């Protein structure tokens, strides 16, 4: 992705993270990248929630999904399709978000 955008520095950082710690390291790098980007431009809280979910950070992921709901973030409509969020399905806060959006539950 970064190579396609001619962002060779980020592409190299992703390769290095993967070599050093695999997928989790890449997700940690991505989360840091997005948090830094969010200091100067909009980053969807759902995108941040996804990174936290991939890292198993339940509280952070749920808080960011709540923020996504408050912001009416379009990506929230597809959270049930992302396996990263599966571990949240039994949580009442997650179920509440799904109900408030008006989606049929997929759990």
- The DSSP line for the chain is -TTTTT-HHHHHHHHHHHHHHHHHHHHHHHHHHHHHHTTTS---HHHHHHHHHHTT-HHHHHHHHHHHHHHT-GGGGGGGG-GGGGGGTTSHHHHHHHHHHTPPP--
| pLDDT recorded at residue 46 | 98
Chain segment 29-87, per-residue pLDDT in tens: 999 999 999 999 999 999 999 999 999 999 999 999 999 999 999 999 999 999 999 99
For the question of whether the overall pTM of this predicted structure is more than 0.75, the answer is: yes
The residue ranges of every structural domain in the chain are 8-101
């Amino acid at each position: 992705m970064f190579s396609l955008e001619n962002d060779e520095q980020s592409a190299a950082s992703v390769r290095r993270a993967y070599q050093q710690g695999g997928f989790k390291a890449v997700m940690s790098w991505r989360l840091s990248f997005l948090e830094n980007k969010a200091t100067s431009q909009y980053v969807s809280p759902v995108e941040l929630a996804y990174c936290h979910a991939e890292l198993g950070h339940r509280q952070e992921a749920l808080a960011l999904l709540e923020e996504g709901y408050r912001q009416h973030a379009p990506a929230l409509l597809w959270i049930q399709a992302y396996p990263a969020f599966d571990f949240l399905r039994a949580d009442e806060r997650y179920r509440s978000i799904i109900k408030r959006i008006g989606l049929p539950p997929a759990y």
